[in-house]
Structure 1
Amino acid sequence: MSPPHNQIQWSGPSWALPALLALLSVLGPFSIDTFLPAFSGIAQSLSASPVQMQQTLSAYLLAFAFMNLFHGALADSYGRRPVVLVGVAVFALASVGCAMAQSIEQLIAFRAVQGLSAGASMVVSRAIIRDLFPPAQAQRVMSHVTLYFGLAPAIAPVIGGWLFALLGWHSIFWFMALLGGGLWLLNLIYLPETLPRSERQPFRPKPLLQGYLALGGSARFVLLALASGIPFNGMFVYILAAPEFLGTHLGLAPTQFFWLFFCTIGGIMSGAVLSGRMAGRVPLKWQIRHGFVLMAVATLINLTATAFLTPKVWLSILPLGLYSIGWAVMMPVVTILVLDLNPLRRGMASSMQACVASAANGLVAGLVVPLVMHSTMLLALASASFMLVGLAAWLYLHWRWPAIGRFASN
C-alpha cells in the first residue's frame, strides 16, 4: 500500500517538472561524456597512461555507486530539496577542482568527489516523481525525464570535442562547474519539497540498517535491480571505450564521436516515448518483455556483424541504437516496480537501485573496458554478456513471482 497521497502538487506547465528533473540528471552524463573526446589531450598534458585515464572514469563511477547508498536515505530523512541542493553545489566545486588539477592523481581525486555528489540529483528526482504522481502518471513523467535526459549525452561529446579543440581540456571542467552552478540556482528557485515532515524517516543507524537489510534481502528487489542496471552496460561498454572503439577501430576524429552518442541517445529517447505511450495501457511485464526482445535482436545483429563483416561506422553503431530503444522501453517500468516495493522508503529504494547499476558501471569502466577495448569482438561479447545477465534475472523473477507486473499501471 502507498502512503497517503502527497499534498504537494505541481502547479506549473506539465512539461516543466520533467524538464527540471531531467536537468538534474544531466550531471551524470556530462561528467562522463563531455570529457571523453579530450582523453588523449589530458593524457598528454598530465603524462598519464591509458590505464590512469580509465581510472578517471572508474573513480567517478565507484564513488557514484558508494554514495548512492546514502542519497536516498538522506532524502527520506531530511527532505528531497536539501539533498539535491547540497549535491549540486558539491559537484560544481569538484568540477572547479578538476579544471585546476595539475596531475593525474589530483584529477582522479576530484573526479571521485564529482561521483560522490552527482548521484544525489538523479536518485532523488526519481523519488520526487513517485511522491507526486500515481503509477501510470509517474511512468509517463519518468519517460519524459528519460526523453529530455537523452539530449544531454547526445550533445555532451560534441560540446566537449569543440571545447577541447578551441580552449583545451581545462575548459571542459570549467563548463561543468558553470553547469552545476546554474542548476543549483535554478533548483533553489523552482524545485518543490515533496516529502512532508510527517512521512520522513529517522536518520539513525538501526532503522537505516533495517531498511537496507530488508531491501537487500528481497529477492524481488535484487532481481529487478539486476534486470534494469546490468543490461545498460551492453551499450555503456561502447561509450566507455569510445576513444578506442571510435578512434582506433572505426577511424573517427574526436569531433566525430557524436555519431555513437547520437545513435544511442536517440534510441533512448525513442524508447522513452514508446514507454510513455504504453503507460496505463499495456501490462508492465509485457513492456519489459518487449524491451528485452529488442535488446536481444540488437545483440544478435551486433555479434553477427562483428564476427563476419568488415567494421563500418553505420553497421557498428546502428545496433547499439536499437539496443538502447529496448533498454529505455523497460527501464521506467522496472523503476516503478522497485519504488513500490517499499513506499515509505522510496528514496532508499532508488538509492540501492542506482547503487547496483553504478557499481556495475564502475566495475565495467575499471576492469572490463581495459580488457576488451582493443578488440571489437571482445566488446560485442561483453555487451552480449551484460544483456544475458539482465534477461536471466527477469526470467527468473517472472517464473518465481508470475503476478508481478501483470497489470498495466494505473
Structure 2
Amino acid sequence: MNPQADQLWRGPRWALAVLLAVLGMLGPFSIDTYLPAFTGIAQALDASPVQMQQTLSAYLFGFAFMNLFHGALSDSFGRRPVILWGLAMFTLASAGCALAQNIGQLVFFRALQGFSTGAGIVVSRAVIRDMFPPSQAQKVMSQVTIYFGVAPAVAPIVGGWLYVHANWHSIFWFLTGVGVVLWVANWRLLPETLHTSHRQPFHMRHLLQGYAHMASSPRFLLLALASGVPFNGMFLYVLAAPAFLGQHLGLGPTQFFWFFALTISGIMAGAWLSGRLAGRIAPERQIRMGFTVMLVVSVVNLLANLLLAPHASWALLPISIFAFGWALMVPVVTLLVLDLHPERRGMASSLQACIGSVANGLVAGLIVPLVMHSPRLLAATSLAMMAVGLVAWVWLRHRWPETGAHIAVH
C-alpha cells in the first residue's frame, strides 16, 4: 500500500471506484457493443460465422498476451503512464476497426484492441490495492464491479441502436469516441498511486524470473484458475449470444438487452453483497457461498435444458443467478491473488488476468463454435467451466487450509 495514499485522492471513495470501473468496463464494452451487429458485419464483409468468431478470439488472445506486460510495466514505470498509453492504442485500434474493408483487417484491429484494453483492467486492480488496506480494498473492488456492470448492460442497446439506425461502422466510431473521452478523463483525474520506493527495475531477465516464480507457485495458479475459469460459465453465453439469443430464443438485435440486463443485474447484486460482507466474514466462507450458488444453478440449468424447450421466459434467469454467485466470490479471490506477492501486485494482476483471458480465448475460438448450436451443450459447458474453478479452490483449501481463513484488516 502507498504510504501517502490518503493524500493522492481527496474525493469520495465511490468517485475513484467509478473512474476505475470505467477503465475496467472497456474490455467487455468492446465485445458487447458489436455483438448485435454480428450477422450484419458478416454479410457486409462476406465473412463466415467461423471467421466472425475469430474477431472475438483474436481480441481475447491479444488481451491475454499483453496482460503479461501491462502489470509488470506498471510496477516499473507507474500505473498512470500504462493506462494512458493503453487508452491511446485502444482509440486508434477502434478507428481501424471502423475503417476495415475486409474480415482480415477487422480481425487485425480487433487484436490491437485486445492488446490495449487489458491496461485498464489489470492496472486498476493494482491501483485499488495501492490505495486501500484489505477490507476497504474489497469494498472498493465490489463497488468497481457494481459500476462496471452498468456498461455491458448498456453496450448491446447502444450497439443494436447504432446498427439499426446507422451501420456497423458507427459502432466502432462510437468506441473511438469512448477512447478519447476516457483518455482525457484519466489524464486529468487519475493520480499516480505507485510509490517511488515500490518501483521495480524493468529488465527482461528480471521480468521473466518474476513470472517464472509466480507460474511455478501452485497456490497462485489455483487461485487464478478459481477466479478466471468460472467466469466462462456465463461468458460463453455472451460469446454465443448471436446464436443463443437470435436462433434459439428468437430475440432480435434490439432485444439482446434483456439478456445483458439480467446478467449484469446478477453481477451487480453479487458485488454489492460482497462489499457488504467485507470485513464481516472470513474470505473462505464468502468464496464457498459463491461457488455453492454457481454449482446449484448450473445443475438446475442443465436439467432444465434437458427437459424443456429453450424459451426466453426461463432460459435467461439461470445465467443471471450464476453471475450473482461469481460476483460474490471473485473480488475476494482477486485480493488473495494480489496479496500473495505484495511487492509485485501489478505482475500478479497481469498473470491472473492472462490466465483468465487465455481461458476466454480458448472458449471463444474453440469451444463456443462447437457448442453454440445446442442450448443443452451450452448448459453442460457452463457447468464444466464452473467445475474447473471449484476443483481448483477445493484443492487449494486442502493443500493450504489457512488460505482465506481469517479476516484481513491491515
TM-score by length of structure 1 reads 0.98
Conservation of the 8 A alpha-carbon contact between 1:98 and 1:173: yes
Conservation of the 8 A alpha-carbon contact between 2:2 and 2:193: no
How far apart are 1:4 and its partner, in Å? 5.4
Counterpart Cα distance in 1 of 2:217 and 2:247: 44
Partner of 1:292: 291
Conservation of the 8 A alpha-carbon contact between 2:145 and 2:271: yes
Counterpart Cα distance in 2 of 1:237 and 1:166: 28
Conservation of the 8 A alpha-carbon contact between 1:279 and 1:409: no
Partner of 2:96: 97
With 57-66 and 201-210 compared, the bigger mean Cα shift is at: 201-210
Q: How does 1:7-406 map to 2 (within 5 A)?
A: 8-406=7-405
Instruction: Tell me the SS of whatever aligns to 2:356.
Output: helix
Counterpart Cα distance in 1 of 2:369 and 2:408: 41
Instruction: Tell me the SS of whatever aligns to 1:257.
Output: helix
Change (3 A) 1:6 1:16: closer
With 2-11 and 172-181 compared, the bigger mean Cα shift is at: 2-11
Counterpart Cα distance in 1 of 2:327 and 2:408: 17
How far apart are 1:214 and its partner, in Å? 1.1
One-letter amino acid of the counterpart of residue 139, structure 1: Q
Conservation of the 8 A alpha-carbon contact between 1:64 and 1:115: yes
Deviations 1:75-116 (A, max 9, x none): 000000000000001000100000000000000000000000
Instruction: Tell me the SS of whatever aligns to 2:340.
Output: coil
Counterpart Cα distance in 2 of 1:333 and 1:111: 31
With 113-122 and 23-32 compared, the bigger mean Cα shift is at: 23-32
- Structure 1 stretches lacking a partner, 5+ long: none
How far apart are 1:314 and its partner, in Å? 2.6
Instruction: Tell me the SS of whatever aligns to 1:48.
Output: coil
**Paired positions, count:** 409
One-letter amino acid of the counterpart of residue 85, structure 2: V
Runs of 4+ in structure 1 over 6 Å off? none
How far apart are 1:9 and its partner, in Å? 3.3
How far apart are 1:409 and its partner, in Å? 2.7
Counterpart Cα distance in 1 of 2:400 and 2:383: 26
Deviations 1:157-214 (A, max 9, x none): 0100000000110000000000000000000000000012221001102211121011
Instruction: Tell me the SS of whatever aligns to 1:368.
Output: helix
Counterpart Cα distance in 2 of 1:113 and 1:303: 36
Instruction: Tell me the SS of whatever aligns to 1:310.
Output: coil
How far apart are 1:258 and its partner, in Å? 1.0
One-letter amino acid of the counterpart of residue 293, structure 2: L
Conservation of the 8 A alpha-carbon contact between 2:71 and 2:123: yes
How far apart are 1:44 and its partner, in Å? 0.5
One-letter amino acid of the counterpart of residue 330, structure 2: M
Conservation of the 8 A alpha-carbon contact between 1:6 and 1:195: no
TM-score by length of structure 2 reads 0.98
Counterpart Cα distance in 2 of 1:325 and 1:17: 23
Conservation of the 8 A alpha-carbon contact between 1:92 and 1:180: yes
Counterpart Cα distance in 1 of 2:330 and 2:307: 32
Deviations 1:2-49 (A, max 9, x none): 785746532112211000001111210111000000001100000000
Counterpart Cα distance in 2 of 1:98 and 1:23: 21
Conservation of the 8 A alpha-carbon contact between 2:2 and 2:131: no
Conservation of the 8 A alpha-carbon contact between 2:2 and 2:195: no
- Structure 2 stretches lacking a partner, 5+ long: none
Conservation of the 8 A alpha-carbon contact between 1:8 and 1:194: no
Counterpart Cα distance in 2 of 1:166 and 1:3: 48
Counterpart Cα distance in 1 of 2:398 and 2:342: 24
Deviations 1:135-168 (A, max 9, x none): 0000000000000000011110010000000011
Conservation of the 8 A alpha-carbon contact between 2:230 and 2:389: yes
Conservation of the 8 A alpha-carbon contact between 2:13 and 2:140: no
Counterpart Cα distance in 2 of 1:319 and 1:40: 26
Instruction: Tell me the SS of whatever aligns to 1:340.
Output: helix
Aligned-residue CA RMSD in angstroms? 1.0
Counterpart Cα distance in 2 of 1:214 and 1:275: 30
One-letter amino acid of the counterpart of residue 308, structure 1: L
One-letter amino acid of the counterpart of residue 299, structure 1: S
With 4-13 and 379-388 compared, the bigger mean Cα shift is at: 4-13
